[in-house]
Amino acid sequence: MKQSVCGALLGALAVLASAPARAQGVDEFGAYGGLENHGYIRSKQEVAFEVRFGPYHPNVDQGVAGSPYATIFGNDTRWQGGAELDWQIYRIPRVLSLGPGFGFGYTHSSAPAPLESGDGMSAQETTLGIMPMHLVAAFRFDYLADHTPIPLCPYAKLGLGYALWWSSIGEKSTRVDDKPGRGASYGYVWALGVLLRLDPLDSSAAANADASLGINHAGLFIEWFNSSLNGFGTNSGMEVGTNTWVAGLGLEI
Amino acid sequence: MLNNVRMSFRPRLSTALLASATLLVAGGAQAQTTSTGAPSVYLKNNNEGVVRVQGEAYPTYLSLNQFNQRNCIDNEYVTFNIDIRGSAAATSSFHLEAWIGTACDMRTSRVGNSASCYNVGVVGQSVERMEIPVRNLVGPLSTAGGGDDTGGTGGTGGTGGTGGAGAGGTGGTAGIDIGGTGGSTSLGGTDSGFSGTFGNGGTDSSFAGTVGSAGTFSPFVIHGENGGDSGTAGTGIKTRAEVAGTGGDVTSTGENGLDGPESGPGVQPISVCETTVNTTPLSRTLYFVLVDGDGNSPPGATNWFAKWPYNYDMGGPSAPLGVSAGVGESALVMKWTQASDAPIDLKQYIFLCDPPPGGGSPAEAAAGAGGESSTDDGTGAIGDLCKSSAFTEGQVPSIEVLQTNVCGNVQSTSTGGEAGPLLNGVKYAVAMASRDSYWNVGPISNVTCNTPELVTDFYEAYKKAGGHGGGGFCAIGRVKTHALTTLFMLGALGLILRRRARAHGDRRGLS
């Protein structure tokens, strides 16, 4: 998996490096031919927005006896979708940025519930829905992309995680001992990732996007995301955190 | 420049105002002429003008001008309070008639061979209240009956209905006989028509056998068809009362479960309510016309008739196909496919359970409750036959079944749902039916059986494994406070950093 990701990144770098040379200049519509990359036309950059997608396997079975999650839902890959918004409060232009970010996602697991008698499966679906959220400090290093031909921006995130979860059986919420099967979990999260800027693919379009929409940079990212939502080790809630990769589209605005 | 525009505009504005005032004065004069001269007719399209019966069979959200099959089966009468305006002298020689059809304000649409309207009610002079049966409003448009003024050929007797099991066949014969008599008697000539009792009189013995159409303006031209009614009870809809003549078999087991009162004289037979008449909404217009004995409107009157558009739907949608019931906890999981001929106004699917939700017990299940098998061997082997004593495939569920055995419903876009709440360990016979936007319920699907059982859901498995989570989103209030505090501190830190960065930037700008 890691090899294929590295291969993809290297391939993308090769494509970007082989981009044809173009005439450069500035006309009434702004910079073109690459000059726009050198700071001629740049709108103010304040936030980063990410559309996130990736697998999600909650670590529910950690900290309990047995493996209720794997027993009920199996080991099939479940997916999450989400978004994140980072406010780049502290920023040294073309070097780095630092600021808080808030992200959320959603994932859902479902499977037929087994009969209590052990005689097989029922026709009713039992589900577990999770809405993980995180509030992090996001550090982004832009120097490489802004000062070298390598369009990569490594980044790191560290902060708090919080997740709402709920379970159902059929069309009803499940209950045990008259307590509803829903709750909240919290803990910490961290992530390491890299964003591949797409601006060099079409510098003119990137400049126009900045001039008309205020989008400074657009890129594809991939990150390793780790969340431990066990109450900072107190095991007070359901551990619905995960260790997984997340990919998506990032915009700096 | 602007002043010039204003100057030139003012005279035009004054002229327009004067013209408007002139038009208003003229319009008022015209209205005054109408109110004091020629009579006029008004009908309020609300609960004052149109009075409907509301009951368990008529959901309150069924609109005032919508009729469903239950309204027809129950022989509901709609009361219309029509307002006739004008002086006594102006209205003295006119009376109200009710017609359905096309362009019934045209006299030629109401009389003669080209008549396209059907008379559904007549009252005497100065009478402003009219009761019209729903069966006449939704029945077929018939122009049976004949010539102008002099009375025409008697109506063609209705065809006797197809008999139900047993005596129904006799009913059919009776219908034909009566109809034939009516036709040959040809009451038109002797019908008193509008000269006296507005068509009600004459020899309108209808069900006595001397039926047939009366004169042109008889409001009860359908009597010629009532002969058929006498014999139609066996077609699938039974009447509560004994029908005239030999009639059909009112207790036929082959009937579809709907029943309603017998149609009285001048009312379309109950067969007009059959599901096969129409399963999608249809529109019609009811005309209340103010006419004299010859069918002519008041001279010079413009508002001598009132129109009331209405819609009706006499059939429930087809049943869903391939209904199956899987085991669930306190429920059965239903799955099905939509019928290919489902109408556009299909609204929802309803689930039917036998025994009804809340009924039965595991002990009863062990004794075979819930279906025919309960009478078989008492072993609970309902799955072998899987029939219900309450409902049968192909039947339209009765009101009693709808009140007792419904165990859930889902929107028509669904292909799955849960029937419940049911008791675990009790064997149930379940089926489905479709319901349209007019609250008509269609025939019952195939009946299937299964038994709800306890299941282990994920949260139960988690708790059994020693998990501590759950109990509600707010069940960890102390922890939540910590998390919120941390979030607040992070936000404050961000603001401080932001403020410092700005201050730093300002100093650099000054230097």
The ipTM, to two decimals, is 0.85
Instruction: Supply the range of the domain harboring residue A87.
Output: 43-252
d(CA A183, CA A240): 11
Residue B65 forms part of a structural domain: yes
- In this structure, the answer to whether residues B265 and B147 fall within a common structural domain is yes
Give the residue on B whose Cα is nearest the Cα of A184: B473
pLDDT of residue A204: 85
Given an 8 Å threshold on Cβ–Cβ distance, is B479 in contact with A127?
no
- Count of domains observed in chain B: 2
Number of domains in chain A: 1
Compute the Cα dihedral for A138, A141, A145, A146 and give only its sign.
positive
Cα–Cα distance between A203 and A198 in angstroms, integer?
A: 9
Local confidence band at A79 (pLDDT 50, 70, 90 cut-offs): very high
Write down the pLDDT at residue B507.
Answer: 56
Interchain contact, B470 vs A182, CB within 8 Å: yes
Mean pLDDT lowest among A105-119, B49-63, B258-272: B49-63
pTM score: 0.68
pLDDT digits (tens, 9 = 90+) for B56-82: 555 656 788 999 888 888 888 999 999
Any domain includes A130? yes
Question: What confidence score (pLDDT) does residue A56 get?
Answer: 97
Minimal C-alpha gap between A40 and chain B (Å) = 20
Among B231-245, B386-400, B486-500, top mean pLDDT goes to: B386-400
Which domain-ending residue is among B282, B312, B342?
B312
Contact with chain A for residue B61, Cβ under 8 A = no
Asked if the Cβ–Cβ distance from A176 to B494 is below 8 Å, we say no
Give dist(CA A133, CA B271) in Å, integer: 64
Query: Domain for residue B465, yes or no?
Result: no
pLDDT per residue over B194-204, tens digit each? 322 233 333 33
Beta strand extents in B296-383 (DSSP E only): 305-312, 321-328, 331-337, 346-354
Q: What is the DSSP string of B158-196?
A: PPPPPP-SSTHHHHHHHHHHHHHHHHHH-TTTT--GGGT
Minimal C-alpha gap between A81 and chain B (Å) = 22
State the Cα–Cα distance between residues B481 and B270, nearest whole angstrom.
70
Domain interval for residue B108: 37-312
Give the integer Cα–Cα distance in Å for B386 and B391.
Answer: 11
Select from A163, A192, A203, A171 the least CA-distant residue to A33. Answer: A203
- Give residues with Cβ within 8 angstroms of A130, minimum separation 6: A56, A58, A106, A107, A108, A163, A164, A165, A240
Q: Would you call B491 an interface residue with chain A, using a CB distance cutoff of 8 Å?
A: yes
Domain at B368, CATH number:
2.60.40.10
Confidence of residue B380 (pLDDT cuts 50, 70, 90): very low
Rounded Cα distance, B287 and B289, in Å: 6
Contacts of B494 in chain A (CB under 8 A): 87, 89, 99-100
* Residues facing A52 on adjacent strands: A82, A248
Inter-chain residue contact B476 with A126, CB threshold 8 Å: no
CATH number where A106 lies:
2.40.160.20
Q: Which residue among A90, A170, A183 sits closest to B470, beta carbon to beta carbon?
A: A183
- Asked if B271 and B345 sit in the same domain, the reply is no
In degrees, rounded to 5, the angle at the alpha carbon of residue B318 between the alpha carbons of residues B328 and B396 is: 85
Most B CBs within 10 Å, among A59, A116, A178, to test the B interface: A116
Question: Angle at CA B344, nearest 5°, toward B340 and B349?
Answer: 70
Domain boundary among B312, B343, B368: B312
Tell if the CB–CB gap between B459 and A167 is shorter than 8 Å. yes
For residue A1, being part of any structural domain is answered with no
